[in-house]
Structure 1
Amino acid sequence: MQSSSHLFPVALISAERRGDLSEDVYRLKPANSPDTSVELAVTRLGMADAGLARGVPVILLHGSFSNRRFWYSPKGVGLGAYLARAGFDVWLPEMRGHGLSVRNQQWRNNRVADYARYDLPAIAAFVREQSGQVPHWLGHSQGGVTLAAALGGQYMGEPAVASAAFFGCQVNRRYWLLKIPPVEWVAHLLLKRCAQLSGVRLKRGPEDEPIGIALENLRWNGFLGRFKGAGRDWWAGLAEVRLPIMAVAAAGDLKTPEWACRALYDQLGSEQRTFMTLGRAQGFSSDFGHVEMLVSETAQTEVWPKVLNWLQSRSASQPREVAEESEAPLLGFRQDEVAATM
């Protein structure tokens, strides 16, 4: 099969009509990280009868223990489907070993640092190539943390991100027991004995998470811990971000409380930014929870339209790019490898 991209090998592994929507699933093999076995599944949602016309691209990043189904159910319900029906070009990546993305050889050691440094820039480059426009990004929970790491680490910026929205996302809530070195050491030894954390057993979601993610979080929360990786201080880097930003907290979210979401929001250096809390005190019908803020019948009527309004206001004057193939980044591939098949 001929590659679907001039950047790196990409295979279109399925193209289906799902009611009024079209669902195209691509498998990307960017080979831009130390583990060259990484393959990423990215699903594109559009209107089935729209022909070649494409709207403004939006990339939705799922959280931990999750996959693309957080945004788009088999019955065609979800924020991803809602935005596609509103005319946006919707892209749903699945992180390493989640959903349709196969587990890479070093899956056990995967970290947010790998997603932010290698995977998100590759996804951004592919979506820009396919759509001819700079995508907007929206991340929930760990998906938002990954997006924050990519922005704070300057792995992505304005050439790859038109705006960024964070839902239920925080890096400031600290578990102070882990600041005690002996407690941190014991926790580290216990976690090292595991290969993964089961979302089903923990009742957190349908997917497993590699133990590398847990060990990375332990480092962030440990003695002298800080939101950083690969020699870069992501937290300090967030102050340099100038993109339009929206941050959303849920009043009933016990995992990512409002104050922690706001701390991340306040660290961002953007002048165009919006903070919103989903709760009764703010005029909503209920105090939303961590998942319910985006996946619930109430979210459909009270939250999704606000997301749509934000994206429409950001994309109203967004110019369309005219990219030349000769200028496309190869992300680790030689020119003679660009047309390789998978």
Structure 2
Amino acid sequence: MQQESLFITDNEQQLHLRHIWQRPGGVPIFLLHGTIENGFIFYSEKGKGLACFLAEQGFDVYVGDLRGRGKSTPLINAQSCFGQYEAITRDIPLFLEKIQLLNPQKIHLIAHSWGGVLLASFLARYPQWLDKVLSQTCFGTKRVVTAKNLESFVKIGLIWRYIAPLLVKRHGYLDAKKYRLGADNETKQSLQESLAWVKPGHWRDRYDGFDYQQAANAITWPPTWHFTGSKDQALGHAQDVQLFIDECGNTQAKFSLLSKQAGNLVDYDHINILTHPLAVEDHFLPLAQWLKDKS
């Protein structure tokens, strides 16, 4: 298996795109991380993770780091003035345009958590890309959080809505790595935008008013598969994943709740749904077959 880092220049920003492949000419797949994360949720330089597994299955795999995260530079700091709007209207199009230059075949899209909201927003906003998309897969993706339990109260009610804004006020950005809240940091703008969207309400862009909900219900979605874990009680609770599917008007989407009761090897949570060693022989294998079928 081979890996290389590609960089895309956007003014002063360098966007990092990790390319992973075993043999040339495979069907391309683009993977996008969520909030307070980066592309390492999907791969390691030692060949672990979903991206590396899919490369072993013959796919041509690309993993993006949204601006300021992972190996994209400069890293997020107090002067960073970008958020979801830039991710949807700049980062994702630039990543996909780069992949199209390297491999002009139709592409599969895979996202974790909030990355699925960003990708769905991108497709709703730029429906001309739909003809180039073979499928989309989401792990633990929700927009609104309605689940009411202890984990949801701590992670959303306490940390995200109360502590995170206090840390932004102190530092000028969310230093999630320093406080061990996540694998990467977030800008003040991206935190404010996600806070606005995670509350029940209309799915609309705070920057220019674009109505994502209306646009999402006007398009025909590519074949879609949503996964979440039974132990994901806050960031990708099953009821909120279903709410997002309904909000998109994606009536044909598949939805799998991974649990031992359902025949899986593990009761997965929000992170180990992608990182658990048993995931490869559990849900990664049927996903790879589904992607091949949709190719």
Asked if TM exceeds 0.5, the reply is: yes
Would the aligned equivalents of 1:117 and 1:155 in 2 still touch at CA under 8 Å? Answer: no
Choose the corresponding residue for 1:238, options 190, 201, 216.
216
Opposite residue 135 of structure 2, the aligned amino acid is S
Number of residue pairs the alignment of both structures matches: 279
Q: Please, what TM-score do these two structures have when normalized by structure 1?
A: 0.74
Would the aligned equivalents of 2:42 and 2:49 in 1 still touch at CA under 8 Å? Answer: yes
Please list every run of 5 or more consecutive structure 2 residues that lacks an aligned counterpart in the other structure. 154-160
Would the aligned equivalents of 1:124 and 1:160 in 2 still touch at CA under 8 Å? Answer: no
Would the aligned equivalents of 2:114 and 2:143 in 1 still touch at CA under 8 Å? Answer: no
Corresponding residue of 1:115: 87
Cα-to-partner distance string for 1:185-209 (whole Å, 9 max, x where unaligned)? 9996874454222233442333211
Residues 252 and 166 of structure 1: is their aligned pair in 2 closer, same or farther, counting only changes over 3 Å?
Answer: same
Cα-to-partner distance string for 1:210-234 (whole Å, 9 max, x where unaligned)? 1211111222246x85322132111
The alignment status of 1:274 with 2:273, answered yes or no, reads no
The alignment status of 1:70 with 2:49, answered yes or no, reads no
Opposite residue 92 of structure 2, the aligned amino acid is L
Opposite residue 226 of structure 2, the aligned amino acid is A
SS in 2 for 1:108: coil
Q: Please, what TM-score do these two structures have when normalized by structure 2?
A: 0.85
Q: CA deviation at 1:293?
A: 0.8
Map 1:78-117 → 2, pairs under 5 A: 78-103=49-74, 108-117=80-89
Q: CA deviation at 1:270?
A: 4.1
The alignment status of 1:198 with 2:175, answered yes or no, reads yes
Choose the corresponding residue for 2:98, options 99, 114, 126.
126
Corresponding residue of 1:227: 203
- Structure 1 or 2, whichever has the larger Rg, is 1
Residues 185 and 198 of structure 1: is their aligned pair in 2 closer, same or farther, counting only changes over 3 Å?
Answer: closer
Corresponding residue of 1:173: 145
Map 1:154-173 → 2, pairs under 5 A: 154=126, 157-173=129-145
SS in 1 for 2:18: strand
Map 1:1-342 → 2, pairs under 5 A: 21-29=1-9, 31=10, 36-47=11-22, 50=23, 53-103=24-74, 108-154=80-126, 157-174=129-146, 191-221=168-198, 225-229=201-205, 230-242=208-220, 243-254=222-233, 255-270=235-250, 272-315=252-295
Opposite residue 99 of structure 1, the aligned amino acid is G
Residues 187 and 122 of structure 1: is their aligned pair in 2 closer, same or farther, counting only changes over 3 Å?
Answer: closer
Would the aligned equivalents of 1:62 and 1:143 in 2 still touch at CA under 8 Å? Answer: yes
Residues in 2 aligned to 1:221 and 1:141: alpha-carbon distance in whole angstroms: 12
| C-alpha RMSD of matched pairs (Å) | 2.7
Corresponding residue of 2:156: none
Residues 107 and 299 of structure 1: is their aligned pair in 2 closer, same or farther, counting only changes over 3 Å?
Answer: farther
Percentage of matched positions with identical amino acids: 25
SS in 2 for 1:139: strand
SS in 2 for 1:55: coil
Please list every run of 5 or more consecutive structure 1 residues that lacks an aligned counterpart in the other structure. 1-20, 178-183, 316-342
Would the aligned equivalents of 1:28 and 1:40 in 2 still touch at CA under 8 Å? Answer: yes
Range with greater deviation from structure 2 (105-114 or 206-215): 105-114
Range with greater deviation from structure 2 (130-139 or 106-115): 106-115
Would the aligned equivalents of 1:168 and 1:248 in 2 still touch at CA under 8 Å? Answer: yes
Opposite residue 219 of structure 2, the aligned amino acid is V
Residues in 1 aligned to 2:164 and 2:181: alpha-carbon distance in whole angstroms: 20
Residues 282 and 194 of structure 1: is their aligned pair in 2 closer, same or farther, counting only changes over 3 Å?
Answer: same
Residues in 2 aligned to 1:104 and 1:27: alpha-carbon distance in whole angstroms: 14
Residues 55 and 111 of structure 1: is their aligned pair in 2 closer, same or farther, counting only changes over 3 Å?
Answer: same
Residues in 1 aligned to 2:180 and 2:283: alpha-carbon distance in whole angstroms: 25
Q: CA deviation at 1:129?
A: 1.6
SS in 1 for 2:236: coil
Cα-to-partner distance string for 1:152-179 (whole Å, 9 max, x where unaligned)? 32366313422111110101215999xx
